[in-house]
């Protein structure tokens, strides 16, 4: 009876979150195949620890945190590979299968996002692309909701500055550039000011 309950719970968890977890992994992994491996490992961990997985919306946050840890483990394994495997991976990544958005403003915002520190990119992507609020971002990255709000605010400010720098507009015109793209790119990265 207990096994049936666990299986039903896992099936519901998988059905309700597989797309979000795969999308999360796809945006962070080097290849779609790596993303599929990360998603599969995330759900394998969830299956093994199904009684530890929180209920409701917290389950998705738990899965994001687990996927983040799987990605970190994969990154550590990748650093231990031989230089030949690393060169092959770089070659494959250079011929990536993801299509860049055609919108010039979106390309500018993506380029600006890539210039940010890894921690800034992570909180922005969790907020904008995964749709997490500050409390959810905090749980995934291991900080309080207040600290997550501060990290988001600072990361958004750095993203706005990076967009301005890449667009060739000085500090005086920075806000015009960002506000001119706020609906297209900045909002997509969670740059709109968070409501208090």
> If you count them, how many residues does the chain have?
196
Residue 82: the pLDDT is 56
Task: Specify the CATH number of the domain 1-94.
Answer: 1.10.1740.10
Candidates 3.40.50.970, 1.10.10.10, 2.60.40.420, 3.40.50.300; correct CATH number of 99-196? 1.10.10.10
Cα→Cα distances 158→47, 113, 121, 154, 163, Å: 38, 9, 10, 6, 9
- Predicted TM-score (pTM) of this structure: 0.55
Neighbour tally for 96: CB within 10 Å: 11
Residue 78: the pLDDT is 72
**DSSP letter for each residue of 140-170:** HHTS-HHHHHHHHHHHHHHHHHHHHHHHT--
The whole-angstrom distance between residue 89's C-alpha and the CA centroid of its chain comes to 21
Q: What is the band of 108 on the pLDDT scale with cuts at 50, 70, 90?
A: confident
Residue boundaries of the structural domains of the chain: 1-94, 99-196
Mean pLDDT, the chain, rounded, equals 80
Which residue did the predictor score with more confidence, 188 or 19? 19
Q: What is the band of 77 on the pLDDT scale with cuts at 50, 70, 90?
A: confident
| Residues 6+ away with beta carbon under 8 Å from 57 | none
Task: Kindly tell me if the per-residue pLDDT of 15 is higher than 90.
Answer: yes
**Which residue in the block uniquely carries the two structure tokens 């491996």?**
37
Which residue did the predictor score with more confidence, 126 or 171? 126
Closest CA to 139 of 125, 159, 123, 117: 123
Which residue did the predictor score with more confidence, 83 or 111? 111
Taking residues 69-98, report their average pLDDT. 68
Integer distance in angstroms from the first to the last C-alpha of the chain? 46
Contact 194, 114 (CB under 8 A): no
Residue 98: the pLDDT is 47
Taking residues 38-54, report their average pLDDT. 95
Q: Would you tell me the crossing angle of helices 32-48 and 2-28 to the nearest 10 degrees?
A: 150
Distance CA 46, CA 52 (A): 8
């Amino acid at each position: 009876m207990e096994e049936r309950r666990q299986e039903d719970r896992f099936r519901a968890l998988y059905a309700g979150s597989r797309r979000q977890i795969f999308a999360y992994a796809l945006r962070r992994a080097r290849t779609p195949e790596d993303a599929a491996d990360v998603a599969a490992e995330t759900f394998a961990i969830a299956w093994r620890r199904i009684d530890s997985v929180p209920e409701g919306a917290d389950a998705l946050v738990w899965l994001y945190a687990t996927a983040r840890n799987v990605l970190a483990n994969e990154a550590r394994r990748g650093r231990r590979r031989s230089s030949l495997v690393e060169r092959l991976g770089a070659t494959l990544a250079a011929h990536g299968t993801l299509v860049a958005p055609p919108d010039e403003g979106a390309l500018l915002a993506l380029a600006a996002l890539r210039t940010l520190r890894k921690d800034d990119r992570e909180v922005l992507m969790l907020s904008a692309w995964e749709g997490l609020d500050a409390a959810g971002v905090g749980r995934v990255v291991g900080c309080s909701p207040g600290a997550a709000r501060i990290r988001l605010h600072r990361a958004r400010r750095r993203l706005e500055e990076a967009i301005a720098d890449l667009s060739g507009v000085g500090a005086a015109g920075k806000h015009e550039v960002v506000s001119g793209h706020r609906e297209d790119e900045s909002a997509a990265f969670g740059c709109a000011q968070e409501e208090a």
